Amino acid sequence: MNEKTSAKVRLYVEHPLGAGQSVPLSRDQAHYLFGVMRLGVGDAVLVFDGAHGEWLAEVAEAGKRGGVLACREQTRPQQSPPDLWLLFAPIKKARTDFIVEKAAEMGAARICPVQTDFTNAERIRRDRLQAHAVEAAEQCGGTYVPEVAELARLDRVLADWPADRQLMFCDEALVGARAALAGAQRGKWAILIGPEGGFSQAERTRLRGFPFAHAVSLGPRILRADTAAVAALTLWQSTLGDWG
C-alpha cells in the first residue's frame, strides 16, 4: 500500500511509461489485477518499466483477458542500481529462487548463474528465475528489474571477463580472515559465490591469479551459499554500493 496514492498494487510493465500513456495489460497481469486483487475501472496502480521511474496509473479498461492502464503522473524518478553483478552457482530449486529474489531486493543489476567444477545443476529455468526477480522488484519499491542471464560455465565467463570489472571472490578458504574490501575502488563490480561444495583448488588458484579479483572472507563461519549471497551483497552495498 502506498500512502500517497492508495494504490494497492505495484506492477512491472514492459511498456514505456509517460504522462497520458496507455499501457496494455497481458492476460496474466489482467488476471492478477482484476481476478486476484479485485481492482476495477478507476482504481489506482503503481507501475514501473525499468527506465522511466514509477508512475501512478488508473485502470481504464478491465477485462478477463486483458485491460488498459492510463498513466497519470510520476511518483518516483528512475533509480538505477550500482553496476553490480551477482555470479552464483545454482543449488537446489528453492534456494536458487531465494538467491535471485534476495539479489533483486539487494540491488544487483544483473544475476548470472554459473556452472563451477562442483555445481550439480545442469540447467535452470531462466524464465522462472526472471519472474522471481520481477516480483521482488515489485515488492521492494525498486524501479528496475535485474536481468537473469542464462546459465554459463564459470571458466568461459572468466575467459571473456571485461578488464574494467572487479570481482569480489567469496572464498570459503579464507573463513576467519578479515573481510578485506578496504581500499577497493567503486565502479563496475561482480560478486562470485560458490556452490555447496565450494570451489575446486584449480578454480581457486585461477581466480586468485586474476588482477581484477579480490578474494574476500565472509567471516568466521562457513555460510551456506544462499546466506553467503545475502551477506556478500550486504557487505558490498555498505562498502562500495548505494547504501549511502
Binding site for ligand SAH (CB under 6 A): 170-172, 174-175, 193-194, 196-199, 217-219, 222-223, 225, 228
Q: Judged by CB, which is closer to ligand SAH: 69, or 99?
A: 99
Smallest gap, in angstroms, from Cβ of residue 125 to ligand SAH? 22
Q: 202: which 3 cell numbers?
A: 584449480
Category of 240 on φ-ψ map: left (φ > 0), alpha (ψ -120 to 50) or beta:
alpha
∠ CA 181-88-243, nearest 5°, is 45
Smallest gap, in angstroms, from Cβ of residue 216 to ligand SAH? 6
Smallest gap, in angstroms, from Cβ of residue 170 to ligand SAH? 4
Q: Judged by CB, which is closer to ligand SAH: 43, or 101?
A: 101
Smallest gap, in angstroms, from Cβ of residue 233 to ligand SAH? 12
Q: Judged by CB, which is closer to ligand SAH: 43, or 226?
A: 226
Separation of alpha carbons 136 and 196, rounded Å = 24
Smallest gap, in angstroms, from Cβ of residue 199 to ligand SAH? 5
Separation of alpha carbons 131 and 4, rounded Å = 27
DSSP codes of every residue in 202-231 = HHHHHHHH-TTEEEE---SSPPPHHHHHHH
Q: Judged by CB, which is closer to ligand SAH: 135, or 196?
A: 196
Q: Judged by CB, which is closer to ligand SAH: 69, or 87?
A: 87
Give the nearest residue (CB) to ligand SAH: 194
Q: 93-105 and 225-240 are packed helices; what angle lies between their axes, rounded to 10 degrees?
A: 10
216: amino acid identity, one letter: V
Backbone angles phi, psi at 153, to 5 degrees: -75, 135
Smallest gap, in angstroms, from Cβ of residue 143 to ligand SAH? 30
Q: Judged by CB, which is closer to ligand SAH: 44, or 181?
A: 181
Q: What is the DSSP letter of 103?
A: H
- What length does the chain have? 244
